[in-house]
Amino acid sequence: MDSKLKAKVITIALLMVVMVIGTVFYANYLKDKAIREKKAQKEESQVQTGSEEIPAEPIEEYASLAEKYHLDPSKDPYAFLGDDSFFDVEEEEKDPKTQLSLLVSSAERDIYVSVVNGEGEAVKGQRFGVSLTKAENTEENEESTAAGSVAGAAGAKNTGSIENHHKKPEKMATDSEARDGVKESPNPEDKADAVKTDSEEEKAREENIRSTAGAAGRENRSEDGKNPFDPSRKYVDLDKDGCIYIADIDAGQYKVSLEDVEGFEIAGNDVPVQVKEQLEYTVLKDISYLIRTEDEIDAAKEDTQVNQAEIDADGTEHHQKLSEEDALLGIDVSKWNKEINWQLVKEDGIRFAIIRCGYRGSSTGALVEDKYFKQNIEGATQAGLKVGVYFFTQAVNEVEAVEEASMVLSLIRPYKLEYPLYIDTEGAGGHGRADGIDKQTRTNVVKAFCETIENSGFNAGIYANRHWFRGNLDMSQLTGYQNWLAQYSDKPTYDGEYSMWQYTSAGSVSGINGRVDLNLSYMAY
C-alpha cells in the first residue's frame, strides 16, 4: 500500500473513533440532562404537595453503587448532604432517675419535703439538704403556693389525691414532731462537726423520728417555742430516706430549695409552700413517700400492739361463730393471720372482713404498711366479702393523727370499701411512744384521725375495748363516728353506743390457720 492510501485509512479510522467517543459523550449528556430534569420536577412536586414519594423503580444512576454497598436502590445515597442538621450532635437522653424534684406540704407550723426522681419515686441513700427562702410578697405567691406546695416541681410523677373539704379544728395542744430537718451551720468548723459516720447516721435514723422533738427541733426553737426563719440554715436528710421534716417553723409563705447533689440534675427548684399556723383536718397528699415496709424497719420493736380486750376478758366469751337475727358475722385480720384462703372463709358463713392496713411504730413512730394488707384486701374482695380497714395508732399529737389518716386513705385508693376506716387505739405493752399520753391528748388524736377520714368522704370508726372507751377517751367529744367495741364476755356490758362487737380473739374459721377475731356487725353497710 502506497503512503497516500495508508494515510487516508488512518485518518478515516481516527475520525470514526472520534465520532464514537463524541456519540457516547453526547448520549451520556442527554441521559444526565433527563435525570436532572426528572429530579427537578420531582422536587418541585414535593414542595408543592408537601409529600415525599418513594420511587417504585430504582434510579439507574445509583444502581451500581447500591449493588456494591447493599443499599436500597430507590434511595439517593447523597441525600444526607442536603440535610443541614445531619452532622448536628444529638443530645444524650436524660435518665429520669437522675432528675430530682421536690414535693412539699405543711400540716401545722411545719414543712414536709420529699425528694423524688423523674419516675415519681422517693430517692433514698443520699444525704440531701434543703434551704428555705421566705416570700416577701404574700399576694404574689399565694397562687403559686397553692399549686406548688403539694404537687411539687414539674417533672415529678403525679401521685394522685383524694378530694376533701377543709375544716378548721381547735388549736392543737401539743408540739409537732421534728424528724430530720437538722440545721447544718454555714460555718466550716461547725459543718465538720456535723458530719456523721454511717453508724452514727443509722443511730440518727431512729432518733430523728421519735415522738419527742429531736436535737434540731430543740436547738432551733426560740424561747417562745418557735423556730424563727434563718436563711443561713440548711436542713438535712440524716437517715437518707428521701424525706425531710422541718418542725416548729414560723407560719408564712416559703420557698424550698434543694442543694446541688453530685450525679443528679434538679428539674425545678424553689418550690413554694404556705406554712399553716393552725392544723386543718385534710389529707397530706404526698404521704406515700413516708410509708415504710417491714423490710425497712425492725418489726419486732415497732409492731408491739397488745390486745387489751384479752386482758379484760372475764372468761364467759363465746369462741364459736355466733348467729344473731339482727347482726352479720365477720372477722378482722392482719399479718399475724398469715396466708388466708378467702374463698373458704366466705363459704364458712363470714360476711365481712376488717383488714389491718398498717400501723405506726411504737418505738420510732415510722408509718408502716401491714405486709399482708394488699393480699388480704384483694383476696377478700375477690371472694365477695364486704371490707373495711383499721390502723393501729401510736400518734402522740393531732399532726401525727392526720398523717395516719392520710396514709390509710392513700393505701385504700385502689379499692372499694363498704365498712368504715377505723383507728385502733390500744396499748403497746406499756413502752409504746403513745402509751403515756393523757386522756385529752388521746381524744384529740382520735378526733383528728376521724375528721380527716370523714372530710375525705368515708365513714370513720373507733376501735377500743370497754376500759379504753370508758377511761382513756372522752366520748362526749367523739360523737358521730362508728364505734367498734372489743369485749370478750357472754354479753357486752359497755353502756355507750357501738355498731360492731368483737366478742372473741380465739375463733375458728375455715381457710385460716389458728385463732381469728370474730365480730358481729349491727349495721349492714
Average pLDDT estimate for 311-320: 75
What was the pLDDT predicted at 191?
A: 42
Average pLDDT estimate for 333-359: 98
Q: If you ran DSSP here, which 8-state letter would residue 291 be given?
A: E
Query: For 366-406, what is each residue's pLDDT tens digit?
Result: 999 999 999 999 999 999 999 999 999 999 999 999 999 99
What was the pLDDT predicted at 396?
A: 96
Number of CB atoms found within 10 A of residue 259's CB: 15
Longest dimension (CA), the chain: 150
Give the CA-trace dihedral at 144, 150, 156, 161, to 10 degrees: -130
- pLDDT at residue 169 is higher than 50: no
- Alpha-carbon distance of 458 to 42, in angstroms, equals 68
Question: Residue 517 phi/psi, 5° resolution?
Answer: -70, 135
Give the residue, 180 or 458, on which the prediction is more confident. 458
Residue from 391, 167, 407 nearest 290 by CA: 407
Q: pLDDT class for 186, splitting at 50, 70, 90?
A: very low
Number of CB atoms found within 10 A of residue 492's CB: 17
Cα(first)–Cα(last) distance of the chain, in Å? 128
Q: pLDDT class for 338, splitting at 50, 70, 90?
A: very high
Average pLDDT estimate for 237-256: 91
Question: Residue 122 phi/psi, 5° resolution?
Answer: -65, 135
Residue pair 204/196 in contact (Cβ under 8 Å)? The answer is yes
Instruction: Supply 445's cell numbers.
Output: 388524736
What was the pLDDT predicted at 426?
A: 93
CATH of domain 293-521: 3.20.20.80
Q: pLDDT class for 65, splitting at 50, 70, 90?
A: low
Q: pLDDT class for 86, splitting at 50, 70, 90?
A: low
Cβ-Cβ contacts under 8 Å for 158 (sequence gap 6 or more): 120, 151
What was the pLDDT predicted at 299?
A: 94
- pLDDT at residue 155 is higher than 80: no
Q: Which residue is listed with cell 423523674?
A: 118
What was the pLDDT predicted at 228?
A: 66
pTM of the predicted structure, to 2 decimals: 0.68
- Alpha-carbon distance of 489 to 173, in angstroms, equals 37
Mean pLDDT value across the chain: 79
Average pLDDT estimate for 120-145: 73
- Alpha-carbon distance of 466 to 308, in angstroms, equals 9
Question: Domains of the chain: which residue ranges?
Answer: 1-48, 98-288, 293-521
What was the pLDDT predicted at 14?
A: 84
Q: Which residue is listed with cell 416570700?
A: 135
